[in-house]
Structure 1
Amino acid sequence: MAPSDHYTVQMVPSDHPYCRHVLPPDRPPVYALRPDPPVPGAPAGQWWPPRALDADWLRENVPDVLHVHFGFDSYTPEQLQQVVYVLRAAGSALVVTVHDLHNPHFTDRSRHLAQLDVLIPAADEVLTLTRPAAAEILARWDRAATVVPHPHIVPLDRIPARAADRPGRRRARWAGPGSAAADREIVIGVNAKDLRANVDPFSALPGVAGAVRRLRGRGVAARVRVDVREDPQDAEALGRLRAECAAYGFDLWEHGRLGDDALHADLRSLDVTVLPYAFGTHSGWLEMCRDLGVPVAVPDLGCFAGQATSPAIETFAPGDAAALADAVLALLDRRDAIRPADRSARRAQREAVAAEHERLYARALAAARSRQTVGA
């Protein structure tokens, strides 16, 4: 299929930061992108549960390419198989980006894997974000996935344009144990989000407590700020978090949903942020911190470490308090070298990501139409 040919793409969803940022930054895509269909009974702008994966709706509104990112957890494997049948009958292509090999909202991954057992074998093109994820996809489903890196999360116009505009993190100065007190207080953040299934702040608290003790031993003032949504998924866990933060002497900030500007400003105020994942695959939050130049300590599990080799990222063994303390101190020690993302680099990456999507869509649609011709 020639790149100039016009075709329709239905992303699932369309209105999501990741999905918006795989579009070209400065030109229209070569395809017509359809918006998310309205969800009956849901507020305007809510895309979930995605109607585009309802086989009856899809049969009447079939696109040339259906690109599944998120939201298929609302449908059973049998319902997803019906989606495949609709696409096959119409000669349309299925493209799947595997963001999650373990859905972060569910401890039991069996249903998620059963859904992927339908989508991945049926897909005309499979994409994922990291080489480790691609290796698991190949091992489990015998499909070669195209690795397309995670694009920026922070809007390009809010990422500094020049290196001179990208200051390093302020750092407390020390010369080792017994040195003079730091010129400012170090703030270590632990992000508990809404206490969804894959977030375990409790495992991180001993490690950050150890980091604080070691910093204070160097004469550096430090404190820990744990933040959590005031309306978490697990109210019982919130009660426990309050008690444990009080026992450690940590600040606990319970807050509502933050707008982007407030969230970015808060993250920039931290010297290090700890992402206390218990399981998972990739992280948009980690990518946002990279954009903002916020040092991140993340467990060495899933494919988080595969997202980047940035000096602003350190991994640690889950549940290993000493390793977490080491990671926090390593990030602080090189904080002067850590910068926010470069706008031109992120723009160039997005242009490449968008071009790769256009290439893969064209190839997927050519394969789908060829399959329909052979079956005619």
Structure 2
Amino acid sequence: MTHLPARTPYARKLAGGSIAIVNNTTAAQGGRVPQDMSFQWLREQPSFDFFDVLHIHSLELAAEPDIEAVLDRCERDGKQVVCTIHDVTPMFSPDKAAYARQLRMLTERKIALITLTEGAAADLRQMLGSQQHVNVLPHGHVLPLGDPRWQTPSRREEPIGTTRFAMYGGFRPNRSMFPVVANLLFGNLSGPTTVSILTRAVSPIELDTNRDLGAVVNAALTRPERVGLHLSPFPHDDEIADFLLSADVLVLPYRWGTHSGQLELAFDLGIVPVAADVGHLREQWRRYEGVVPEPIWFDWVDDYQQGARILTALQDATQRQHEWPTDRDALRDIRSAEHDATLAAHHRLYTEPR
């Protein structure tokens, strides 16, 4: 089975039993299968003999002729195809119609669709047709179930009373990090704060086109004692988990979106999440209500009140950071049973006749 792409923990954990992932192996005739395989790369391969199932996780940024060509070859060669739709709206492009057209390319071929919440499934049925069947399988754990960090408490490395905020991920259009930084630097908070950001290495084009990134870089240069900017070629799982365990609060400043793996990792690590109330993040949390405390939410409803809403949420986090009674042992038990059911459901989708 091959994922497109396979860098996220969500994709990589879908293995076990008779399911093996060929990304990042030498299974292909032309050499190593890239971890972040693209439709273009797959189209160029002389043979599809190195996989039985193509599991698509993203269509965005792919050229439609490449998508069509790959799906045609899969159909001709008898390869099973499934697609997990993590986001109902595009993350990078404002062209929602083009994104919907890409999704319809899948439904026209009767490719099995998966999403992570019932709310997202309802959105997809509205977009693609009320009769469209969508399988709902939860995101599940991000921290591996056997990882010793399940037993690791958050470390307090800053002076007593300092609240350590963190953000991570790319500076992409659906996130807005600098308003968080500005409000933490200058906001009326109940105690001292720091903010650290872990992101992938910065490219010239990103600095030229992303004002949010440029503003954060300037803040880190001028206030290094308060703002830490940490770059990695592409942050890996252990790096992210250790980074978050040195923080008290994870901020998720999504402008829009459907689901969040970052939110799930905050649950796994027992970190306080301050999250924009977008998409179906509330539904992701409600699955664990009673075991995981409710995140601190803010919204973007009124343009002129957005800063006030962000700062209020950050203030709330400084006061509640020591009162976050996540039962991580109970959560891990839930995650384990959930993962077994999810693997069984994927095995069914990978093997059932189209």
Indicate the larger mover: 84-93 or 291-300.
84-93
In structure 2, relative to structure 1, the CA distance for the partners of 1:41 and 1:241 (3 Å cut) is farther
Match of 1:325 in 2: 311
- Contact between 2:164 and 2:248, CA under 8 Å: does it hold in 1? yes
* Structure 2 residue 314 is the aligned partner of structure 1 residue 344: no
Q: Is the 8 A contact 1:293 1:312 kept in 2?
A: no
Tell me what 2:194 maps to: 224
Find the aligned partners of 1:129 and 1:340 in 2 and give their Cα distance.
23
After superposition, residues 286-365 of structure 1 pair within 5 angstroms as: 286-309=263-286, 310-318=292-300, 320-331=306-317, 332-333=319-320, 335-339=322-326, 341-342=328-329, 343-363=332-352
**1:198 alignment counterpart:** 174
Q: 1:329 to 1:87 in 2, by over 3 A?
A: same
1:78 aligns with 2:65: yes
* 1:93 maps to amino acid: Q
In the TM superposition, what is the alpha-carbon distance from 1:169 to its structure 2 partner?
Answer: 8.9
- Residue 109 of structure 2 is matched in structure 1 by 122
Cα 1:115–1:40 change in 2 (3 A) is farther
**Deviation at 1:150?**
0.7
- Partner SS, residue 255 of structure 1: strand
1:11 to 3, 10, 14: 3
Rg (Cα) greater in structure: 1
In the TM superposition, 1:6-45 aligns within 5 A as 9-14=1-6, 16-24=8-16, 28-29=17-18, 31=19, 33-35=21-23, 45=34
Equivalent-residue separation in structure 1 for 2:243 and 2:66 (angstroms): 41
SS class of match (1:156): coil
Q: CA deviation at 1:274?
A: 1.2
* Alignment partners' CA distance in 1, 2:223 and 2:349: 51
Contact 1:93-1:123 at 8 Å conserved across structures: no
Alpha-carbon distance between aligned partners in 2 of 1:340 and 1:259, rounded to the nearest angstrom: 26
Amino acid at match of 2:350: Y
Change (3 A) 1:118 1:87: same
Residue 53 of structure 1: how far off its partner (Å): 4.0
1:349 and 1:87 map into 2 onto residues whose CA distance is: 30
Deviations 1:308-357 (A, max 9, x none): 23425222112622322333344442642333743332222211110111
Equivalent pairs: percent with the same residue? 25
One-letter code aligned to 1:134: A
Q: 1:17 & 1:123 partners in 2: Cα distance?
A: 27
Kept after mapping to 1: 8 A contact 2:112/2:134: yes
Shift of 1:245: 6.4
Partner amino acid, structure 1, of 2:102: Q
The Cα of 1:136 is off from its aligned counterpart by 1.0
Amino acid at match of 2:309: A
Asked whether 1:132 is paired with 2:119, we answer yes
SS of 2:349's equivalent? helix
- Identify the match of residue 271 of structure 1 among 237, 242, 248: 248
CA deviations over 1:13-54 (Å, ceiling 9, x no partner): 456421121234xxx23x454445769999985433356741
Contact 2:100–2:127 (CA under 8 A) maintained in structure 1: no
CA 1:280–1:82 in 2, change beyond 3 Å: closer, same or farther?
same
1:61 aligns with 2:49: yes
- Alignment length (residue pairs): 331
Q: How does the TM-score come out when normalised to structure 1?
A: 0.73
The residue matched to 1:67 in structure 2 has which SS? Answer: strand
Q: Which TM-score applies when normalising by structure 2?
A: 0.77
After TM superposition, the structure 1 stretch with the greater mean CA deviation from structure 2, 89-98 or 35-44, is 35-44
1:48 aligns with 2:37: yes
Residue of structure 2 in register with 1:253 after alignment: 228
Query: What's the offset of the Cα at 1:294?
Result: 0.9
Structure 2: stretches of 5+ with no match in the other structure: 287-291
Aligned-residue Cα RMSD (Å) equals 3.6
Q: Which residue of 2 aligns with 1:103?
A: 90
Residues 337/169 of structure 1: CA separation in 2 closer, same or farther (3 Å cut):
farther
